Amino acid sequence: MKITYREALRQAMHEALAADSRVFLMGEDVGKYGGSYAVSKGFLAEFGPERIRDAPLSELGFVGTAIGAALGGMRPIVEIMTVNFSLLALDQIVNTAAVYRHMSGGQFSVPVVVRMATGGGRQLAAQHSHSLENWYAHVPGITVLAPATVDDARGMLRAALADPDPVVIFEHAMLYPMEGELSPDWEKADLRTAKILRAGRDVTLIAYGGTVWKAQEAARQLAAEGIEAEVLDLRVLRPLDDATIMASVGRTRRAVIVDEGWRTGSLAGEIMARIMEQAFYELDAPVARVCSAEVPIPYAKHMEGAALPQAPAVVAAVRQLLAKA
C-alpha cells in the first residue's frame, strides 16, 4: 500500500492514542491547527483536549511537563516544531530525562517520546533548518531515531512507546510528503538496528533521515557508470549498529558517510572513527564524508542547495575513493 511519510506517522500516533489511554500528545499547534506538518490533523476532535494538548511557546515548560507525566505513569508524545527550537528544552532532555534512571539507581524510568522536525531544503533559513541529531546522539540515557522510510515512520513510534526510557525521534521535514510502499515489515521496526536498503559491492554509502534518499539517488547515478554502491540506512543514531556498519564496509571495502550535520563534530566523524577502530584492515581507501557546509543554512534557494549534501557531491566522493584504490 502506498502512503506518505506524513500519513505513516499519523497512523502510528492514532494507533497509540486509540490503544492506550495513558498516551497523549503535547506540543505547539498540535490540536486545533492539526500540527505544523499536519501529522495530528483531526486528533483534537477525536480524542479531546485532555489527550491532544496545545502547549504555549515554551519548549522548556512543556517538555518538562511531559517528563513529569511520564514519571507519573503516562506515556507522553511531545512534538517540538523544529530541532532548532529543541535547544530551549535541552536542559529537560539531557539533564533530566536522560539521567533519571541513573541518578535514581534504577528506581525510576522516563518513558517519554520527543518528536521533532529536522533538516533543511525548505527555504526557512538558519533558525528552522539545521540538523542537530548528533547533539542528542552524544548523550547516554536516550535512544535517538531517524526514520527515513514509510515503514519506519509507521513502526518506530510503537517501539519507542514501549521503551521505558526517553526516545527522541527526528523526522526530516522534506520527507513528510514523500510517498512509499508500506510493507508488512513496518511491524518489525526496532530501536537497535541499521538496514541495508540497496546491496552493492564497490562502496558503502552510510546515511540517515533525509540523506538516505540522496544516497539512493547517488547510487542510481553510480550504477549507470558500472559502480555498485550499497546504501545503508542507519535508522538508529544512538545506539549505533556497529555490527551492520562493519559487515557492510567489510564487503565493499570503501565507505562514504552522508550527513546533513556540519563536518566539525559530526556524526559522520564518529562513524569514521569507529570504522577505523574496528575495520581498518578491511579498507581499500580512506573513509570519506559529505556534510553540510560550515555555515548557518542560507535562505536563498540556490545557496541553501549548495550548503546541503547533494547526490552529485556523493558521486564525486565515490569516484575519488575509487581513483585512490
Provide the CATH number for the domain around residue 71.
3.40.50.970
Domain holding 211, by residue range, is 195-324
Number of domains, the chain:
2
Bridge partners of residue 232, in order along the sequence: 196, 206
Q: What is the pLDDT averaged over residues 42-48?
A: 98
In the set 59, 133, 171, 260, the catalytic residue is 59
Tell me if residue 225 is catalytic. Answer: no
Give the residue from 162, 188, 214 where a domain finishes.
188
19 and 160 housed in the same domain: yes
Does residue 325 surpass a pLDDT of 80?
A: no
Report field, pTM of the whole predicted structure over 0.95: yes
CA triple 34-38-39, angle to 5 deg: 95
Q: What is the pLDDT averaged over residues 302-324?
A: 95
Buried b (16+ CB within 10 A) or exposed e, 109-146: bbbbbbbbbbbbbeebeeebbbbbbbbbbebebbbbbb
Q: What is the pLDDT of residue 183?
A: 95
- pLDDT tens digits for range 70-94: 999 999 999 999 999 999 999 999 9
Does residue 180 surpass a pLDDT of 80?
A: yes
Does residue 34 surpass a pLDDT of 90?
A: yes
Q: What is the pLDDT averaged over residues 189-201?
A: 97
280 and 145 housed in the same domain: no
177 and 248 housed in the same domain: no
> Residue 111, SS3?
coil
Does residue 52 surpass a pLDDT of 90?
A: yes
CATH number at residue 295: 3.40.50.920
Tell me if residue 128 is catalytic. Answer: yes
CA triple 50-51-53, angle to 5 deg: 75
177 and 29 housed in the same domain: yes
User: Strand order in 229-233's β-sheet?
Assistant: 195-198, 229-233, 203-207, 255-262, 288-292
43 and 100 housed in the same domain: yes
213 and 154 housed in the same domain: no
Can you state the angle between helices 211-223 and 311-324, rounded to 10 degrees? 50
204 and 146 housed in the same domain: no
In the set 7, 28, 128, 260, the catalytic residue is 128
Q: What is the pLDDT of residue 324?
A: 66
Say if CB 291 and CB 158 are below 8 A apart: no
